[in-house]
Amino acid sequence: MVDHLANTEINSQRIAAVENCFGASGQPLSLPGRVLLGEGILTKECRKKPKPRIFFLFNDILVYGSIIINKRKYNSQHIIPLEDVTLETLPDTLQMKNRWMIKTSKKSFVVSAASLTERKEWISHLEECIKHLLTKTGRQPCREHAAPWIPDKATDICMRCTHTKFSTLTRRHHCRKCGFVVCADCSRHRFLMPRLSPKPLRVCNLCYRQLLAEEKKEAEADRGQAEPIRSAVGYEPSSGDDSDKSDDEKAEQWPADTEFYTSAVSWSSFHS
């Protein structure tokens, strides 16, 4: 089906429509051989609270973004190569049902569908595309994944020291290595993890010690020829999910009866 639709006029028109919805804020998506297979709205577990996001599945990438006007305007475009994706089905929670995790080497996050059937369809389509792409390229599945960030509202205290209580003045931070919600005192260090960022990232004290130990071990294995320790000490404001930047944030808790997904919107496959 993909080979049949590649480079056809209808496929080009559909990809162009997605590009137009993202406008100048998005990257070009049209490439020879790329096919748009389907789209849908999923609920993404963001740092502050779950939010609806538009997702587009292509035969080689997964694209998602924030919804400004559905079918007309999106922003905060993210492009994920499917070669880097691993999926993991998750159990339901009081707030979210039909969940699964999208894991990549640079970023991992949880999404939920409006129904169990929709989740099965998404996962089935994704796995089929990933399998086909890995077979075509000869690459092995990704084995190392970024830790998903635990939502702010999941804890009122630091998950490392377990005694610092968060408040308006005591801010939450996230360790980029383990994803835990931690206080400033428990995340004073930064460490360079090239797989995630070209700049040193905030890590909790425990992960910092582990990373130093791993680096020392690698240095010894290389007989003293390793690079210097790439770390720094300092502070930075909490910087959460970048797709949240344009959204109004409120400090409310997650009531158990809140609906975070719309049952009227489901996976739509362009080609049955």
Same domain for 165 and 196? yes
Same domain for 29 and 129? yes
Gap between the Cα atoms of 194 and 175, Å rounded: 15
Residue 81 lies in a domain: yes
Tell me which of 7 and 223 has the higher pLDDT: 7
Q: How many domains does the chain have?
A: 2
- Residue 155 belongs to what domain range? 147-221
- CA 203, 205, 190: angle at the middle one, nearest 5? 35
Same domain for 126 and 156? no
Same domain for 217 and 111? no
pLDDT confidence band for 224 (50 / 70 / 90): low
Residue 52 lies in a domain: yes
Residue 250 lies in a domain: no
pLDDT tens sequence across 134-143:
998 888 888 8
Same domain for 20 and 108? yes
Same domain for 129 and 153? no
CATH of the domain at 154: 3.30.40.10
Range of lowest pLDDT (53-57, 190-194, 266-270) = 266-270
Gap between the Cα atoms of 261 and 246, Å rounded: 20
Same domain for 133 and 193? no
Give the pLDDT mean for 154-171.
94
Range of lowest pLDDT (58-62, 79-83, 227-231, 241-245) = 241-245
Residue 270 lies in a domain: no
Q: State the average pLDDT for the chain.
A: 84
What integer pLDDT is reported at residue 255 of this predicted model? 41
Same domain for 73 and 92? yes
Q: Where would I find the H helices in the chain?
A: 2-5, 9-22, 116-137, 205-221
pLDDT tens sequence across 63-113:
999 999 998 999 999 999 999 999 999 999 888 999 999 999 999 999 999
Domain-ending residue, one of 137, 162, 191: 137
Gap between the Cα atoms of 42 and 136, Å rounded: 28
What integer pLDDT is reported at residue 244 of this predicted model? 46
Same domain for 94 and 209? no
What integer pLDDT is reported at residue 1 of this predicted model? 61
* pLDDT at residue 248 greater than cutoff 50: no
pLDDT tens sequence across 45-67:
998 889 999 999 999 999 999 99
* pLDDT at residue 7 greater than cutoff 50: yes
* pLDDT at residue 163 greater than cutoff 80: yes
Gap between the Cα atoms of 264 and 271, Å rounded: 20
* pLDDT at residue 241 greater than cutoff 60: no
pLDDT confidence band for 195 (50 / 70 / 90): confident
DSSP of 141-155? PP---PPPPPPGGG-
3-state secondary structure of 257: coil
At 162, the amino acid letter reads T
What integer pLDDT is reported at residue 48 of this predicted model? 87
